[in-house]
Structure 1
């Protein structure tokens, strides 16, 4: 890690829900909470709690020097709305194959 840059991943108990155009895309009471210096808190949801049948895999891939390479998924009207790290860096191994959405709400 870069000096001053920190990432933590913890098991959360928040009730996280993702709704797009009135449709629930994901709902979880067991998110992984990722806190990263300079970034908003992100909730990584287990695949069992995500409506993957509503997601379309996209051609977008990004690289984060702290987390690794991410794959993206879209829904109609929202490209690259969700991402996951199939092979994350060892420091954040817990987020492997968990889905993270740009817009989440805790309820």
Structure 2
């Protein structure tokens, strides 16, 4: 039986530091209930509860991707920024903690995590 590498590749770190996501002057999300997902080879991502995201600013796109470690992701766009947020509505069992949460592309949007 092959070894399960999900634990070695991905780790989840819930925290209470304030995370805010901005598109210019528009606040897209504000949360103190983030889960930081650390995946080998990728920058850390903050997964925020959907209830802490101003969903009216996001438009669901047609993009769907599959990650063998997390499952199927759906994407959202904001104004001219295409596919800058994603969500695993029904992730694989080992990633259940991120179900329904959204993560944001910090190369297109301003994702601020307070340090203290």
**TM bracket, shorter-chain basis:** over 0.9
User: Unaligned regions of 5+ residues in structure 2, if any?
Assistant: none
Give unpaired runs (5+ residues) of structure 1. none
Q: Quick check: 1:85 aligned with 2:88? A: yes
- Report which of the two structures shows the higher radius of gyration computed on alpha carbons: 2
CA contact (8 A) 2:6 2:69 kept: no
Correspondence list, 1:65-76, <5 A: 65-76=68-79
Q: Once the 2 structures are TM-superposed, how far is the Cα of residue 82 of structure 1 from its aligned partner? A: 0.3
CA drift of 1:10 comes to: 2.4
TM-score, with length taken from structure 2: 0.86
* Greater mean alpha carbon deviation, residues 77-86 or residues 33-42: 33-42
**Post-superposition shift, 1:26?**
0.4
TM-score using structure 1 length = 0.93
